[in-house]
Structure 1
């Protein structure tokens, strides 16, 4: 669905890219509309899969909530490559929508959660170890098709194997990670960055409480509602974020926004869980001025494109 606003001649036109399920954007993203309007930007909300959309008509298309792409990633990546001006860029989208990028970041020296990969058709036996593990697909949005398993429990071990088999049968690459217990106490920290004159500039941080409570049973999974509060980032967290952003292919200077998700590892040091560069929630409501900072970054990107 497209929301058309008659542009004033000379005003830049920006598409905020969503999906059919969110024709009016996610509520948090709607906080961006007024700051952009005050900066003289004409905004339209457009479903990425809308066949009649003319992406050449926009000075910039900003990915916000195209959250239905996971089961048709190839189509989504192909679409991104055809959009003349996309933020974040199409090659970043291709790289970031497959979580195998975590392996590349680990090789580059970024502390990441250890991950095992199970290709479709490959047999898998849960590790002969105690502790909890997370099973999820390498291509997913949010916590879709994600489960938490206590491998000391025989029933959980079988459910974990069934989860991997289910992903395999659907032709999806599965990933298995140890569950980091600190998420139940310290929570997950998301660091939000927006483009600045010298690359990504820290905007704000939030804390997310634990969401996974048990196995994924092939339905909606079992998750808690998302609990989000403001948080002050630590120097150690910012240092890991800087290392992760520096390792982005093509360099971090092309990014309009970035979200770096961290959890304390077994030794308490921050470990990267995900680097969100495609369609992350930016939690604009949880920091004063966050929507204005993103609007300024969009305006600056429009200015560079025009120049």
Structure 2
């Protein structure tokens, strides 16, 4: 890191990534990093037009003085769930050293999928979710499915990413799945949801909401024979034009969070009644596919500028979590 004079800023904005993706250039065959760099470059250009400099940096670096940035924006911190205790400690410390966007309290809330119950309580239609708390018995999968009338389900940790320890469950494989999740369940909670057939039939729709308004969408499809839409498992992504009902749900879900997130995405599917339902609301490190709709970098940058000005003028709204 370059030595800075007291009070000087290394850059206005730190775009937070992790150690695997901190490189400034991607190898010709590394499309994964290439996509990240393209998205961040578009955001950096939009910020530059607004007079803000931005650099990409690993959140976990030990040699960083976060006071050298006016704010830090979570972009590709995709290892947080693998080191959640360290990440939580980092949040507690750095929130006093610079402005975090989205705010630390919102990030902590969104890290744990229990947040879906909060959205449900606010009238946002979600995929039905049942929680298995840490230390509970893993062999309860079948009984929980029966209690809720689900013939098939999906189980996943409440703090996770990339479909880590995510399994499709049926009465036939429940015992095997229980054995797989039992060691993790002793330490952290899991969430059980009904398996949505629409995921394998038509995919999962993702709507980006930047600076409070919908900008663009993609449809994620699982590989043949799978249900996980992440590219880690062979999933694919395509541009998508959502219905007005989907846009309304995405914006309403974001508006249910206080303050309204600067950026985020709403993942949704059709529920058992044919209505759109939130699968997840990603506010921490969402892939935003800015490269699919390059103008979306502009409202993203506007949101960062607005949050920064509100913070520096003392007008920041305290998160309601």
Fold-level match, TM-score > 0.5? yes
Higher helix share: 2
Give the SS at the match of 1:76.
helix
Find the aligned partners of 1:226 and 1:278 in 2 and give their Cα distance. Answer: 21
What is the RMSD computed on CA atoms of the aligned residues?
2.9
Unaligned runs of 5+ in 2: 24-32, 314-321
- After TM superposition, the score normalised by the length of structure 1 is 0.84
* Aligned length, in residue pairs: 289
1:192 aligns with 208
Note if contact 1:147-1:214 (Cα within 8 Å) is conserved in structure 2.
Answer: no
Give the SS at the match of 1:192.
strand
Q: Structure 2 matches for 1:209-224, cutoff 5 A? A: 209-210=221-222, 213=225, 224=233
Find the aligned partners of 1:10 and 1:74 in 2 and give their Cα distance. Answer: 29
**1:72–1:115 distance in 2 versus 1, CA, 3 Å:** same
Unaligned runs of 5+ in 1: none
**1:231–1:222 distance in 2 versus 1, CA, 3 Å:** closer
Say if 2:237 is the partner of 1:228. Answer: yes
**1:212–1:165 distance in 2 versus 1, CA, 3 Å:** farther
1:65 to 60, 76, 79: 76
Say if 2:90 is the partner of 1:85. Answer: no
Find the aligned partners of 1:81 and 1:159 in 2 and give their Cα distance. Answer: 38
Say if 2:55 is the partner of 1:41. Answer: no
Note if contact 1:213-1:223 (Cα within 8 Å) is conserved in structure 2.
Answer: no
**1:31–1:6 distance in 2 versus 1, CA, 3 Å:** farther
Deviation at 1:40, TM superposition (A): 3.1
Find the aligned partners of 1:212 and 1:243 in 2 and give their Cα distance. Answer: 33
Find the aligned partners of 2:105 and 2:225 in 1 and give their Cα distance. Answer: 34
Q: Structure 2 matches for 1:13-162, cutoff 5 A? A: 13-24=12-23, 26-27=36-37, 28-83=39-94, 84-123=98-137, 124-126=140-142, 127-128=145-146, 131-149=151-169, 151-152=170-171, 154=172, 156-162=173-179
1:251 aligns with 259
Deviation at 1:120, TM superposition (A): 2.7
